[in-house]
Amino acid sequence: MNLKNSCLPLKARFFRLLLFLFFFFSYNSINAQCAGEDASITICNIPDTSTQSINLFNLLGGTPTAGGTWTDIQQSGGLNTSTGILNVWGVNESDTYVFIYTVNDASCADNVATVTVTIGGYAGVDNPNASACDDNSSVNLFQFLGNFPNPQLNGFWTDNSGSGALRNHLLDATVSGLGTFSFTYTMPAIGSCPAVSATVDVTVHPAPEPGETSDLILCDSDDMSPYTNLNLLDYIFGQDPGGKWSESGTSELSGPQDTFINVQNIYNTFGPGEYGFTYTVQPSHPVCNPKSSTVRIIIEEQLDFTGSTLVVASDICEDEIGRATFVATLTQGAEDIPDGSYNLQYQITGPIPSGNTILVRFIDGVVTFPIPAISFPLVGAYTVSIVNIHETTGYNACDHIIGDISDILNVYPLPKINAGTLTIDNACEDSDVEVQLSGNTNLADGTYRITYNLNGSNSATAQQVIMTVVGGIGTFIIPSNLLTVQGNTTIIITHIINLQTLCENTASLSQGFLILPKPDVANVRVVINDVCENQPVIATLSGFVNLSSVQITYSLSGANTATATAVFSVVSGTGSFTIPSNLLLNTGTTTFTVSEIINTETTCGVSNLSITDSFVIYKLPEIPTTSNREFCISENATVANLVPNGPQYAWYAENGTSPLSSTTVLTSGNYYVAVISSFGCVSQKALAVVTINDIPAPTLDAGGENFCGLDSPAPTLSDLAANVNGSGTILWFDALQNGNQLPNSQALQDGMTYYGFDSSTASGCVSENALAVTVSLSDCDGEEYELMIPDGFSPNGDGTNDTFNIPNIEFLFPNFTLEIYNRYGNVMYKGNRDTPDWDGRSSQSAIIDGVAPNGVYFYIVNFNKDNKPPQQGRLYLNR
């Protein structure tokens, strides 16, 4: 496609360039232009209805194909991409727009065309009669320019009058003041279209003044007789005359000019509330809105808190004085209290009187508020009373009815027992001990929780017990489970709490007593390890304290059942014994339980025990099944190659006690395999005899590598194998490492090395080492074979007789040399076994291009074998 109209605006030419590059690399020229030729149009007279709608397809040059697609790449907003119709009035900014027409046909040479449309500016129509109100801070000037079509958006406004009130397209009439002001909207020139403008003259009119009002505030308990003929004009000033009065539902006004109302009648009819009477003033020009001001008659309701309840939470103990948190909750009585904020005044009487006024909020008839801890500084009873309440959002026109709203908060004393006396009798181990507290205490009758420690032979920390106090004397029990060790024990009471007042105090009151001994078995434990079948089972008991010999009673349950006793010594708290084997006849899981332990020195015992451990007697695995194995020495067989194999099997050498590694290389001999269970139990061993077969490398007969390449049929690997000595079949390879095995029918190649391995059909083994044989095919008898020397050749490149060659000379006379001379005696060529053929080029004389011409040449063949004399002759070269 070609670029046209180079004078187009920069934006249009940019898009045209993009399109050209895209389609230049995307499509091949074939036969026809399907999209037509590019076109352009400029529209300056925007209001002209004849140019409102433009069919872009009709603008295309050439013979465009219908049915293509249109693309509005600049999003002008005016193109119907289905029809190709451009609505110029729908484009809201003047600019140069590029529209693309595309025909999706691969056979087209040019399936894209563009239409460039320059749309000039349109500023709207002049308007000398616009109006605004002086209370409007954002008058949109565009509304005065008309909308058929709409003015475009990319122009600018000018304040012709210098009002200082223009803000972009908005007039702030509160700044300009009253008067008429001129503003011009200009659309700049574009392309060949000139700049255009429209002017708006705005007259700013005054807003009405409704005046300032004051309110009348009363309590519903007030005498309202002075307000039975209240003049509303007494409560408004500064208003424009001629306004009208209105009200909402009291029916006190007889008409718009009536200014008198009866407040007593309003209250009698409607009760407490807020009632408004509105004065409305109309504007001098309809561009301004009417304005109003309202006189409010407010009659507040006197609230009745009779029957309300106050709860102050909560009672404290004397050690909380100054740091406790106190919250009071006030709940309404029979009369509902409206939700909202109130100023509440309370008063405290008691050991130290106080009070405060705070801000609170009633929600659903309930209010909570904090009381500072400093309000309750001493032990005693405090009465908290509500003395006054007022709404914070009201006008305090009423003194509300409070009545008696109060609650009592107690500061309780701490219990003190350090000057008291503890009485305790001696007791045996594992017996409850009663403790009596009496003497100089301040304990009132009731229940208390005691915390104590035990020191001495028995020790315990932070033990708690309930103590009942009657007549100043308290009793409680130390449980037997805390008194398990003989000797002197001391109880120390460290804490006491009154369960009625929840007041608590530290204490330091102690008393000693004696515990008579019993065996200490609290930490006795038994451990029995799992074993394999037929192994001894040993029970180890530990945790004995101060014992040297014990007798236990135990039972067996599970796989084996029995009841028995055992006596054994204890050293450093630990002793053990072997459970008789006649009690353990079965494999499986058995549970061992100690039910009684007796100190054999003192005969003191502890029964009803349940010290247990479970153990397993594992059955030995079945003897495995194996078989004798044979391997070739070349296989480098290891223990991993024996059967069976796996993590559960262990292989042993003859008389070996430790399992062999899976990588142990096998030798001929006896090996043994056993099964090892997951626990480690080893079965009986099974024998496997291992035989390692070794085949030596084959040997070559003297001269066995020599053959005549002229023999028929040609010698093969079978012929070579006939000269090799081995125990079985000879296998031939073309390399020693990673070589390919060759068939016996493979024809021998002169000078090639072959590698032969001996093999055994019986064992399937192949010799570990190979025989390397380098073959010679020159072992031929010159007298037996006739040597024919050609008398000419034709090196013309036709593929026939192109070189001078003496057939089979390399087999009969492998060390021969060949010399060829021209008729002048110059050497033309020298050859041997490696270069036996002459191609008619000189390799020795400096003739033109090295190419020997047609003619007669002479040769000399030196046989260099069996003293055979050289042979001379002539040959003819014909190209």
Residue 779 lies in a domain: no
Q: Cβ atoms within 10 A of the Cβ of 743, count?
A: 9
**Same domain for 814 and 755?**
no
Q: Residues 101, 188: one domain?
A: no
Write the pLDDT tens digit of every residue in 550-590.
Answer: 999 999 999 999 999 999 999 999 999 999 999 999 999 99
Q: Are residues 193 and 218 in the same domain?
A: no
pLDDT score of 846:
52
Asked if residue 1 is part of any domain, the answer here is: no
In a domain, 535, yes or no: yes
Summarize the confidence of residues 655-673 as an average pLDDT.
93
- Asked whether the predicted pLDDT for residue 107 surpasses 90, the reply is no
Question: How many domains are there within the chain?
Answer: 9
Percent of the chain with pLDDT over 70: 96
Q: 446-456 and 460-470 as β-strands: parallel, antiparallel, unpaired?
A: antiparallel
In a domain, 782, yes or no: no
Same domain, 642 and 721: no
Spatial contact of 110 and 1, defined as CB atoms under 8 Å apart: yes
DSSP state letter for 22: H
Q: What is the mean pLDDT of residues 795-824?
A: 89
Q: State how far the Cα of 554 lies from the Cα of 562, in Å rounded to an integer.
A: 8
pLDDT of residue 622: 92
Whether 92 has a pLDDT exceeding 70, the answer reads yes
* Rounded CA separation 133/183 (Å): 16
Asked if residue 183 has pLDDT above 80, the reply is yes
Model confidence at 869: pLDDT above 70:
yes
**Domain termination residue (choose one: 254, 276, 300):** 300
Q: Please report, in angstroms and rounded to a whole number, the separation of the first and last CA atoms in the chain.
A: 61
pLDDT value, residue 6:
32
At 675-707, the pLDDT tens digits run: 999 888 999 999 999 999 888 999 999 989 999
Same domain for 180 and 223, yes or no, is no
Judge whether residue 330 has pLDDT over 60: yes
pLDDT of residue 667: 92
Q: Report the C-alpha gap between 717 and 721 in whole angstroms.
A: 6
What integer pLDDT is reported at residue 386 of this predicted model?
A: 97
Going by pLDDT thresholds of 50, 70 and 90, the confidence category of residue 4 is very low
Please report how many Cα atoms fall inside a 13 Å half-sphere around the Cα of residue 506, on the Cβ side. 2
Radius of gyration in angstroms for the set of CA atoms belonging to the chain, rounded to a whole number: 63
Question: Do 824 and 762 sit in the same domain of this protein?
Answer: no
Mean pLDDT of 205-227: 95
Highest mean pLDDT of the ranges 178-192, 710-724, 822-836: 178-192
pLDDT at 778: 84
What is the sign of the dihedral through the CA atoms of 26, 31, 36 and 39? Answer: positive
252 and 276 in a common domain: yes
CATH of the domain at 231: 2.60.40
CATH at 596 = 2.60.40.10
Q: Examine the domain organization and report whether 532 and 457 are in the same domain.
A: no
Query: Strands, E, within 207-339: which ranges?
Result: 212-213, 216-219, 230-231, 236-237, 244-247, 260-261, 273-281, 291-300, 309-313, 316-317, 326-331
Q: Which residue has the tokens 């181990």?
A: 429
Residue 866's pLDDT band, with cuts at 50, 70 and 90, is confident
Looking at the fold, whether 251 and 182 belong to one and the same domain comes out as no
pLDDT of residue 849: 53
User: 13 pLDDT exceeds 60?
Assistant: no
Q: Are residues 823 and 739 in the same domain?
A: no
Question: Looking at the predicted structure, is the pLDDT value of residue 201 above 70?
Answer: yes
**CA 277 to the chain's CA centroid:** 66
pLDDT per position as a tens digit, 65-83: 999 999 999 999 999 999 9
**Predicted pLDDT at 656:** 87
| Domain edge (last residue) among 242, 272, 300 | 300
Report the pLDDT value the prediction gives residue 519, as an integer from 0 to 100.
Answer: 86
Question: What percent of the chain is modeled with pLDDT above 90?
Answer: 76
Question: Is residue 153 domain-shared with residue 192, that is, in the same domain?
Answer: yes
326 occurs within a structural domain: yes
pLDDT surpassing 60 at residue 308: yes
For residues 261 and 844, which has the higher predicted lDDT (pLDDT)? 261
Answer yes or no: do 169 and 225 share one domain: no
Confidence band for 228, pLDDT divided at 50, 70 and 90: very high
Q: Would residue 4 count as lying in a domain?
A: no
Average pLDDT score over residue span 639-658? 92
Answer with the residue of higher pLDDT: 280 or 784. 280
Mean of pLDDT over the chain: 91
Contact between 730 and 759 (Cβ < 8 Å): yes
Q: Where are the beta strands (DSSP E) in 717-854?
A: 724-725, 729-733, 741-742, 753-759, 771-774, 792-793, 817-821, 827-832
Residue 643, pLDDT above cutoff 70: yes
Average pLDDT over residues 825-833: 90
Report, as an integer, the average pLDDT of 755-764.
88
pLDDT per residue as tens digits for the range 483-498:
988 889 999 999 999 9
3 located within any domain: no
Q: What CA–CA distance (Å, rounded) separates 806 from 52? A: 101
φ, ψ at 59 (rounded to 5°) = -80, -20
Calculate mean pLDDT across residues 176-194. 96
**Of the candidates 810, 809, 830, which has an alpha carbon nearest to the alpha carbon of residue 819?**
830
The candidate with the shortest Cα–Cα distance to 521, out of 429, 426, 427, is 429
Check which CATH number belongs to the domain holding 320 and give it.
2.60.40.1930
Q: Which of 96, 119, 142 is the last residue of a domain?
A: 119
Domain range spanning residue 157?
127-205
Q: Inform me whether the pLDDT recorded for 436 exceeds 90.
A: yes
pLDDT band at 470 (very low <50, low <70, confident <90, very high): very high
Separation between Cα atoms, residue 245 and residue 254, nearest integer Å: 10
Q: Is the pTM of this model over 0.75?
A: no
Tell whether 274 is covered by a domain. yes
Confidence of residue 32 (pLDDT cuts 50, 70, 90): low
* Strand residues in 283-322 grouped as ranges (E): 291-300, 309-313, 316-317
Asked whether residue 439 carries a pLDDT value surpassing 50, the answer given is yes
Instruction: Give the model's confidence band at 329: pLDDT under 50 very low, under 70 low, under 90 confident, else very high.
Output: very high
What pLDDT, on the 0 to 100 scale, is given for residue 425?
85
Confidence class for position 113, pLDDT limits 50, 70, 90 = very high
